Amino acid sequence: MPRQADPQLEQRILEAAGRLRARGGEKALTMRAVAKAAGTTTPTVYERYRDRDDILRALRLQTRSELFATLRDSRTLAQACQAYLEFALQHRHAYEVLYDKFAEPPSLHEPWPSFNLLRERLTQRLGGTPRQHTRLMLSLWSLMHGTAMLLIRGGAVGPLRTQMFHACLDAVEAVVAETARSKGKTRSGPKWPANLILGEEGESKVVHSEDDGSTKRAAQAGQKKQKPMLAARTRSVRTPL
């Protein structure tokens, strides 16, 4: 009799890859190790995925789809943020893979439906257009992601876990409320560059040049205050972006 296809095989492969990546990094994520952890053979894994990167891409896309499905029914930004944290804690291995090198291709140019949904909820709250709130959304996402990773890797349990979870939600609300009060005028550093686009697939790009020269000017001002010998040694050091 012909062997019956296993409908859960691909899911087992992706889950195994997520666990291996979270525990041992990319060096632990070999096709043979994935096959063993998924309870299948190496040739079977190769029949479905070209290589390690192909597995990670499939896992990212699946996790993004599942996260979006979780957030889609939320009606407010606060509800969406709470659902986001809950998802991260319930799918810790896949979540860690999701944002590894998120600002580099291919992840940069893949769809970011949850980021865009959160940005839309933020726009509903503050008005304007979604792109006007990309910088604020990035800061709110950084706050949520940082909390999620601390909870995932820090081993917080009981009252501490609960307090960290809700402290993050309170901080998100405080930031949004202050932005609404100040009408977005409270801001440090340069304005968000028009050609720095996130979450929009093919349109997405990360700017690597110094758009307004502010970083370079700050570095030059700092060098003038150094002693001549120290300044001479640092002229060849590139200013970090």
The model's pTM is 0.78
pLDDT band at 236 (very low <50, low <70, confident <90, very high): very low
221: three-class secondary structure by DSSP = helix
Token digits of residue 76: 């407010």
> Residue 58 has which token pair?
């499939």
- Picking from 45, 165, 23, 176, the residue whose alpha carbon sits closest to that of residue 93 is 23
**Integer distance in angstroms from the first to the last C-alpha of the chain?**
61
State whether residue 196 is helix, strand or coil.
coil
Q: For CA atoms 208, 209, 214, 218, give the dihedral sign.
A: positive
Q: Which band of pLDDT confidence, cut at 50, 70 and 90, is reported for residue 227?
A: very low
Task: Please give the C-alpha separations between residue 233 and each of 74, 166, 194, 222, 236, in angstroms, as whole numbers.
Answer: 55, 48, 35, 14, 7
Q: Which of 53, 101, 99, 136 is nearest to 206 (CA)?
A: 101
Q: pLDDT tier at 38 (50, 70, 90 boundaries)?
A: very high
According to the model, what pLDDT value does residue 82 have?
97
Give the pLDDT confidence of 98-150 residue by residue, as tens digits.
988 899 999 999 989 999 999 999 999 999 999 999 999 999 999 999 999 99
Tally of CA atoms within 13 A in the half-sphere of 147 that contains its CB: 24
Using the predicted structure, report yes or no on whether residue 8 has a pLDDT greater than 50: yes
> Smallest Cα–Cα separation from 54: which of 99, 96, 24, 17?
17
State residue 5's pLDDT score: 63
pLDDT for 25 beyond 90: no
Mean pLDDT of 157-175: 97
- Domains of the chain are 1-49 (1.10.10.60), 60-208 (1.10.357), 214-241 (no CATH)
**150, 92 contact by CB (below 8 A):** no
